[in-house]
């Protein structure tokens, strides 16, 4: 995949374009992973806190929480690949501009929220929904006992709100990178 890109780009632009493509690919992958995690965490919270029986999403929720946000770690590479692309840009302003340092800080903050808040909360939801050896509850979050439902609801809420914070930080960083004030 990278070989045609390197062949098409001549001279010093080859390394820059390679880093830029990797930066965008990592951002899309990590952002999508955290975005889906927030959606599924919100669904788990809703099902765990409602008194109604589980809906059609129960099987899907249990399947998702067996391995939630599997590609979130791509977020950790995004700011570093972006800084590398800025440093490698042949006729650019480099990394000393205020907008790129601001975007870098926002991406680092988003990655920290994902790593320290969202992913652990998703793990707690998954641990409650998919107990080792016991199999998933027949009715999903609504089929758990009261304490387990409360844990799923609380952890799902933390994960969905953390994912929302990540989304806001991502869009703020994206705005800085596009408009470069």
Mind listing the pLDDT tens digit for each residue in 67-89? 888 888 888 888 888 888 888 87
Summarize pLDDT for 122-150 with one digit per residue, the tens. 999 888 887 655 555 545 565 666 787 88
Q: How many CA atoms lie within 13 A of 164 on its CB side?
A: 9
Q: Are 122 and 159 in contact (CB under 8 A)?
A: yes
Q: Are 106 and 176 in contact (CB under 8 A)?
A: yes
Q: What is the pTM of this model?
A: 0.77
Q: Domain segments of the chain: what residues?
A: 2-179
Q: Are 155 and 124 in contact (CB under 8 A)?
A: yes
Comparing CA positions, the residue from 129, 13, 147, 4 lying closest to residue 68 is 129
Specify the 3-state DSSP secondary structure of 107: helix
Separation of alpha carbons 100 and 96, rounded Å: 8
Where are any strands of DSSP class E within the chain?
A: none
Q: What pLDDT was estimated at residue 56?
A: 42
Name the burial class of residue 2, with classes exposed (0-12), middle (13-18) and buried (19+) by CB atoms within 10 angstroms of its CB: exposed
Summarize pLDDT for 83-113 with one digit per residue, the tens. 888 888 777 666 667 787 888 889 889 989 9
CA distances from 15 to 4, 6, 9, 106 (A): 12, 7, 8, 25
Total Cβ atoms within 10 A of residue 123: 15
b/e per residue, 95-113, with b = 16+ CB within 10 A?
A: eeeebbebbbebbbbbbeb
Query: Is residue 41 over pLDDT 50?
Result: yes
Comparing CA positions, the residue from 121, 120, 148, 122 lying closest to residue 134 is 148
């Amino acid at each position: 995949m990278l070989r045609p890109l390197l062949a098409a780009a001549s001279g010093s632009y080859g390394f820059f374009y390679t880093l830029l493509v990797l930066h965008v690919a990592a951002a899309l992958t990590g952002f999508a992973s955290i975005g889906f995690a927030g959606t599924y965490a919100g669904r788990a919270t809703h099902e765990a806190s409602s008194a109604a029986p589980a809906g059609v999403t129960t099987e899907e929720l249990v399947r998702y929480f067996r391995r939630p946000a599997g590609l979130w770690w791509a977020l950790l590479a995004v700011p570093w690949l972006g800084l590398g692309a800025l440093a490698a840009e042949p006729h650019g302003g480099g990394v000393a501009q205020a907008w790129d340092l601001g975007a870098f800080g926002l991406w680092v903050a988003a990655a920290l929220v994902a790593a320290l808040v969202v992913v652990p909360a998703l793990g707690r939801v998954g641990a409650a929904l998919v107990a080792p050896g016991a199999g998933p509850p027949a009715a999903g979050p609504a089929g758990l006992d009261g304490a387990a439902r409360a844990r799923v609801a609380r952890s799902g809420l933390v994960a969905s709100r953390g994912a929302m914070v990540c989304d806001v930080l991502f869009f703020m960083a994206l705005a800085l990178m596009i408009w470069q004030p």
